[in-house]
Structure 1
Amino acid sequence: MAVHPSTPRDPGSGDLGISDVLNLVRDCTAALSSVRQEVGAATEAQLLDLVSELGELALWSDAAEVAVVGDALTRGLPAASQVPLSPADWIATASRRHTRGSASRVVKIAEALRSPTITRPAGALAPGQDGEVLGEAILGAVVPLPCGQVAMDEMRRLAPDLQPAFVPAAWEAYALVGAGGDPREVRRIRPELYARFGRPDRLNDRDEGARKHAFLSTGAVDPVDGLTDYRMSLSAESAAILEAALDRLTKPQPGPDGGADPRSYPTRRADALIELVRRATTHGVVPTVAPDTGAGLQGDGPGHPAADRPAAERPAAGRPASQVSLIVRLGDLRDEDGCATTITGLDAGRYLSIATARLLSCNTMLAPIIVDEHGTPIIIGHSKRLFTSQQVRAMQLRDDGCSFLHCSRPAGWADAHHLIHWADGGATEIDNGALLCNHHHHVVHSRRLAGWVTTDPPDDTLGRPPGSSETSDAEDLARRRDRGEPAAADRP
């Protein structure tokens, strides 16, 4: 976040009495009323000075108004006046600048800045965590009032989900970005703060909730224009994969006459999505959707030979159009703290939790760029961390489906998972791998569960361990028929 705020000038020494200040404010008002008549005689340099000084004056005027209103509220003046009024009505009556609505916004921020508890969303926090940094920046005309109002609102929403130790850092971030003067930029930093400093339990709940509520509607046909409308919502993980896959296919293509691509950007995205589906269904990789897996297509993930082959072995038509590229610090990946950032295509800049980054790094659609604490790349790409198609086939034969306790999903719905993550030094070997369905793959990463390979029979306290599912052909046939799928001998 690149912010270059201007440092406000000290308007005075603070030695003036309130009567002197009031007289100077009146003189300033009188001077401003004559600017329109005198500005025609100004030189270029004087015009620039006027623009600069008027900007400073506006910032200090807003800050001073908040300070005055805050003091009036502390004294209880609106309710104690000759005609008792609400604070907003009291301001609107005294100032022709304000309506009741605009006055209410001033009251809201004045109350927040004068109360040490109003900005605390729940329970008591340690000193320094209730917004003094942002409050001083607003009252000191460093953060413009509109940005300050947005920052206060954003922190009220964000603070309950932050780790308490990082709440001061979030306040400082809002003060820094707010000094840039753009409320839109202030709103944009909440996803990053949430990803970097959010409570792990809230992050996991959010990610699980997003996956559970992902949907793709049934198409609604418009009989007039012939178009079919769909609605879709995806988790951050699924959206990153989709955007990366669409990225290359949405680039403009020359028209038939060599001219510019006549298609609009939304049309190119629609064409790209259909092209992805066409390739998947015409090259022997028929997608199937497993329950509880969101909107993922199982034909393009680990556990499927066409997708799990190294690039040199994979058919050209089966190669993904693009990849999700992530930047993540090695320490964050190992400690499962902080966040990762996507850097591919339109989806660049999306923040993903470390649990999601670790899960995606089991997938061929991810090309991680691991950096050290100084941001220097130390690991690029994924050639040494992916299971080969032969390894996946071996795990399919060994595990016979998802290896999570009591899960009956077949191998065709499973991802190849590192029991010890490659970022933690785990080898990409069969003895360090296990099949997990998409749902339980998320569960293992979000809850930081561990597993191991064993040939001992499973019991009710452990998941079905990889390597423990060796069965006879008759047992295999019975189990597969119970699942409603053909056994090996029945399959084409």
Structure 2
Amino acid sequence: MDEQETPVTPLRGVLTAARDGLSGIAELLTSLSSADLAEVMTLADEVKSQAGAAQVRVTAEAAHRGEFASARRGDGSVHAWVREHAPSLRQGGAGQVAQLAQDAAASTPGGLWSHGGPEAGPFADETRPEGIVWRRVVSGEVGVGLALTALREVARMKDLLVEEAVPTVTGAILDLGVEWGQAHARKLRPRLLAMYGLEGELDKAHKRLRAGAYLSSPSVAEGDLTEYRMAMTPEQAARLEAAIGPLSKPAPNPETGEIDLRCAGQRRVEALASVLAAAASEDAVAAEPGGAATVVHVSTSLADLLAGLSGVNGTEGAGSVMGSRARDTMLAPSVVRQMACDADVVPVVLGAAGEVVDLGRATRLFTRGQRRMLWHRDGSCTFPGCTAPAAWTQAHHIVHWADGGPSDLGNAALLCQRHHTQVHDRRLIATVHPPDEHGRSVTWDLSRGSYDRDLAERLREFARARAPLKGGRHRRHLDTGPPEGWASAIPDSVLCELADDFEADHLALLAEESNNWVMPA
């Protein structure tokens, strides 16, 4: 007697035929051409993708029906059901299938599930991350692992993004993951924050990273090698790679032609040792006190570069590192501004279509003579209460180089790394004056936001200082090198316009804070 026809009968026939057909593939391989092999590989991959999508649908349907209600009493679970009925997933993946299917089923109100999928809830809404992910999973395009990665990444960033950009961000994570794998999808977060984040979110994210950066104490490992563990912020990694990158390339002997047999790891550690040896050398310190720490190539769009001149916060001015192992690392606007104080920055300006429209020159923001004068003038970090010696400091532009501040001694102060970061974070400004009774020539205004409050007037002072006196003579000022930085390239009229823009922005911010202020109870 023939088996009674049921809804599962045709489905069983299709799946059984696919299984039996693939199991006999070995007998046919030797007779296939190269083109045939490629075609069979593609078809087998499509079958595998559709089978994976079917497993998610089946598990979600079972979960929606309450097949695993006994799990609440400790008798079973979705994970156990998947492992029992899909033995191949015991090798890995059963938990992911169970999690995604259960999440989809649990998010849907009872009675609103049909055709193997939700009709209501976030997984049925194709404008929400869950719906976008579910649609591409059940089509077989996106695997379960990538789907869960995308949902986790969007959940982490959702409150940090412009609301209307959430679907775009979800799609971007999936697109990159489909092309390069879910590990690469996790690396996309900084770039997405730079492109679609709320104002200042990328800066805040980079500041939160500082507490997690570390360098372990040395540990003698097997073979008497000394082992360190380290995690760095994007800024620190960009500096490190810019410093050791040129020294860690293979170096064949130009005379004998002998190739460089050192592995990449050995070349990198020896490059780091060379940098440290140069930094510790008395000759190096004497040759160039406070020299620029790194040379960093940063790409940005032309629109962002221009917006960065008048934008204090937001994503304008964010850059992507180029030309080192830290390439594609996103640097927040505040990080780019701080690095512009003491690093050689080469801006690579991109046009609307991504083409290179200008390659800037590396600008040593303070000359060797100016740095030497700063060492003698300041002697140590100028932040109140800090005694870090000059050899540990960086030359800081009091009015930032990116805002039009000139590379003159009257706009310079030595700061150690810790206080350099604090000055940028708290947006503090200083005044340079003749030495006081304690020999100090720099006084800091430690009220938070003093930089924004005084910036407009400082820019006007620069413009007035550059204006010629009667008879065409110019004002004299003490300096030891040619004018450099944005201020030397910006006409006085534009510099004054920038000052007006900064002042208007600052007054608008003060008005907003005043309107939001509530008298304490």
Shared fold per TM-score greater than 0.5: yes
1:470 is aligned to 435
Compared with structure 1, are the counterparts of its residues 285 and 196 closer, same or farther at alpha carbon in structure 2 (3 Å cutoff)? farther
1:13 is aligned to none
Secondary structure, counterpart of 2:420 in structure 1: helix
Give the letter for the 2:315 counterpart: D
For 1:100 and 1:262, the matched residues in 2 are separated by 39
The answer on 1:337 being equivalent to 2:321 is no
2:94 is aligned to 103
Compared with structure 1, are the counterparts of its residues 267 and 78 closer, same or farther at alpha carbon in structure 2 (3 Å cutoff)? closer
The answer on 1:358 being equivalent to 2:358 is no
Mapped contact 2:252–2:259 kept (Cα < 8 A): yes
Query: C-alpha offsets along residues 79-122 of structure 1, whole Å, 9 cap, x if unaligned?
Result: 379x97422233334444444974332111223444559xxxxx
Give the letter for the 1:242 counterpart: L
Q: Unmatched 5+ residue regions in structure 1?
A: 1-16, 118-123, 287-298, 309-319, 452-464, 480-492
Question: Shift of the alpha carbon at 1:74?
Answer: 1.7
Query: C-alpha offsets along residues 223-273 of structure 1, whole Å, 9 cap, x if unaligned?
Result: x95644444443322222122111222223335854122433333333322
1:346 is aligned to 325
Which residue of the other structure, out of 291, 295, 300, is the alignment partner of 1:328? 300
1:131 is aligned to 130
1:73 is aligned to 63
Mapped contact 1:400–1:410 kept (Cα < 8 A): no
Compared with structure 1, are the counterparts of its residues 385 and 46 closer, same or farther at alpha carbon in structure 2 (3 Å cutoff)? closer
Compared with structure 1, are the counterparts of its residues 246 and 178 closer, same or farther at alpha carbon in structure 2 (3 Å cutoff)? closer
Secondary structure, counterpart of 1:276 in structure 2: helix
1:207 is aligned to 206
For 2:326 and 2:180, the matched residues in 1 are separated by 25
For 1:267 and 1:24, the matched residues in 2 are separated by 55
2:79 is aligned to 88
Mapped contact 1:399–1:469 kept (Cα < 8 A): no
1:307 is aligned to 291
Normalising by structure 2, report the TM-score: 0.65
Mapped contact 2:297–2:322 kept (Cα < 8 A): yes
For 1:154 and 1:345, the matched residues in 2 are separated by 26
Question: Shift of the alpha carbon at 1:173?
Answer: 0.9
For 2:20 and 2:8, the matched residues in 1 are separated by 18
Mapped contact 1:147–1:178 kept (Cα < 8 A): yes
Map 1:333-482 → 2, pairs under 5 A: 334=308, 335=311, 336-337=314-315, 339-377=318-356, 380-382=359-361, 386-392=365-371, 406-409=384-387, 412=390, 413-447=392-426, 449=427, 451=429, 465-468=430-433, 470-472=435-437, 475-476=438-439
For 1:215 and 1:93, the matched residues in 2 are separated by 44
Compared with structure 1, are the counterparts of its residues 423 and 329 closer, same or farther at alpha carbon in structure 2 (3 Å cutoff)? farther
Map 1:238-253 → 2, pairs under 5 A: 238-253=236-251
Give the letter for the 1:68 counterpart: V
1:459 is aligned to none
Give the letter for the 2:422 counterpart: V
2:265 is aligned to 266
1:234 is aligned to 232
1:489 is aligned to none
Secondary structure, counterpart of 1:370 in structure 2: strand
For 1:24 and 1:261, the matched residues in 2 are separated by 58
Compared with structure 1, are the counterparts of its residues 99 and 212 closer, same or farther at alpha carbon in structure 2 (3 Å cutoff)? closer
Mapped contact 1:150–1:183 kept (Cα < 8 A): yes
Higher RCO (C-alpha under 8 Å, 6+ residues apart): 1
Secondary structure, counterpart of 1:77 in structure 2: coil
Compared with structure 1, are the counterparts of its residues 145 and 429 closer, same or farther at alpha carbon in structure 2 (3 Å cutoff)? same
| Structure 1 or 2: more helix by fraction | 2
Give the letter for the 2:435 counterpart: E
The percent identity for this pair of structures is 26
Question: Shift of the alpha carbon at 1:359?
Answer: 1.2
* RMSD, matched Cα: 4.3
Q: Unmatched 5+ residue regions in structure 2?
A: 1-6, 109-121, 443-521
Secondary structure, counterpart of 1:368 in structure 2: strand
